[in-house]
Structure 1
């Protein structure tokens, strides 16, 4: 399916959020996937991931996740400077601001003639956490979370008892979580904490642990696993087709 790309600046309670829109280049209405990036924002690998999803018949929104903290259009490099800046942003932005960003994107999608009313979320790394977090919103039908960080450790800023793990019971839709066993960011003990909480709260979820490192989806760098990445894209597409179509 041929796709087209647009850029929209969406108003949020914490400022303008540049959002990149990938969608089928044909007439009709399509369900929406909010695709949350790594700390580096919309890099080339993230753009390619969004294009793959859109090519399967979805509208894909890629927000600048730290729009309050950077000039519009900021993309951080995959180097120590970029990593340090991205991590600083991650610990500076309250989760509540991500919540209002998600609602702004839901409202945006539902105002577009080419979107249905159905919205889901997907993300990698911190974006995997933000997809999980988005699933706390009743308007989000489900979330596909790839190696989500900081859920188990409750290290991101938020109000008391408003961290994502504590609020797991508010997830109404279905979530899929994928972790790399060789990922140093989420240990085996950390994964168990998340799994047990999901079971305890009765959330509808699926769970995979694969032999891969952190960022195995990113098609730049030595940790990329092309075979696993292809499997995940196929699983994500099937997941969203079942939930949204």
Structure 2
């Protein structure tokens, strides 16, 4: 399936400089069906913003029939351009990662989901309100999230949003150490322990066993916390290093075959959870409806 790329600049409330966030949207292009609609996926980037590898990764998802929104996460500090994969870019990305407010990360995710809700080529089963949308009522929310490295953690946090039915998190950093955001004191695992993911969507965590960013003790902590909280989750540990799905500047860690296999797993999860209209979701006999 062919794809197209565009972007939207969305106003934010928490940016101290009042700058908008740029959200790139990569979507299927089917000229013979101009009114075709597709489910939505938010794709969070690593610390370098929306680089070539991130865009190509999002393009793979879009070509399977999804509208993919890629937010530029460092709009408080930089323009929407990607940071380079070099020492300066890495230092900037790591610096911004712990200077940005945790609430601002969550606002970015909300705005990306809201934007998907407003797009005419999204299937309308994503409930939400954005400055571009009108009030509508739908009986089911279906949106998915994914991301790599920092983006894996952001996809993890996106799962707290009831509109997100599946999050596929690639080698998510800082969850085990609770060091995301300003003050290096995030509450991701605390919220899991408090039950904020129970009864929500499906979560998939993928880690490389040779990943020095998330050691075995950290992976064990994440797994145990999810299991103790009865979260619907799949935990995959593979023979790989950090950033093994990055097809550029991966420092010799890119594993194309393993990436291809795991992308297949991700697409199965997305197809099963958001790729079909399953009707109203029922929990304990109660119909859940969302209004936007």
Shorter-normalised TM range: over 0.9
Q: Which runs of 5+ in 2 are unaligned?
A: 127-141, 276-292
C-alpha distance in 2 between matches for 1:141 and 1:65:
22
SS of the residue corresponding to residue 191 of structure 1 reads helix
Give the aligned partner of residue 25 of structure 1: 29
1:175-204, Cα deviation, whole Å (9 max, x unpaired):
000000000000000001100100111100
SS of the residue corresponding to residue 24 of structure 1 reads strand
SS of the residue corresponding to residue 181 of structure 2 reads coil
| TM-fit CA distance, 1:158 | 6.0
1:170 aligns to 2:174 (yes or no): no
1:132 aligns to 2:136 (yes or no): no
| TM-fit CA distance, 1:160 | 10
| Aligned pair partner of 1:157 in 181, 187, 194 | 181
Higher strand share: 1
Give the aligned partner of residue 137 of structure 2: none
SS of the residue corresponding to residue 149 of structure 1 reads coil
SS of the residue corresponding to residue 54 of structure 2 reads helix
CA contact (8 A) 1:102 1:134 kept: yes
User: 1:180-195 maps to which residues of 2 (within 5 A)?
Assistant: 180-195=208-223
C-alpha distance in 2 between matches for 1:5 and 1:157:
29
1:145 aligns to 2:169 (yes or no): yes
Q: RMSD in angstroms over aligned alpha carbons?
A: 1.5
| Max Rg structure | 2
SS of the residue corresponding to residue 155 of structure 1 reads coil
C-alpha distance in 2 between matches for 1:196 and 1:99:
24
1:77-108, Cα deviation, whole Å (9 max, x unpaired):
11111110000010111221111111111111
SS of the residue corresponding to residue 20 of structure 2 reads strand
Distance 1:61 1:54, change over 3 A: same
Distance 1:103 1:175, change over 3 A: same
Greater shift, 177-186 or 111-120, is seen at 111-120
CA contact (8 A) 1:37 1:126 kept: yes
SS of the residue corresponding to residue 10 of structure 2 reads strand
Distance 1:86 1:160, change over 3 A: closer
CA contact (8 A) 2:98 2:183 kept: no
| TM-fit CA distance, 1:74 | 2.4
Give the aligned partner of residue 8 of structure 1: 8
TM-score of the superposition, structure 1-length normalised?
A: 0.96
User: 1:10-89 maps to which residues of 2 (within 5 A)?
Assistant: 10-13=10-13, 14=15, 15-26=19-30, 27=34, 28-71=36-79, 73-89=80-96
Distance 1:45 1:115, change over 3 A: same
Higher helix share: 1
1:209 aligns to 2:237 (yes or no): yes
Give the aligned partner of residue 264 of structure 2: 234
TM-score of the superposition, structure 2-length normalised?
A: 0.81
C-alpha distance in 1 between matches for 2:266 and 2:51:
20
C-alpha distance in 2 between matches for 1:223 and 1:139:
34
C-alpha distance in 1 between matches for 2:167 and 2:235:
12
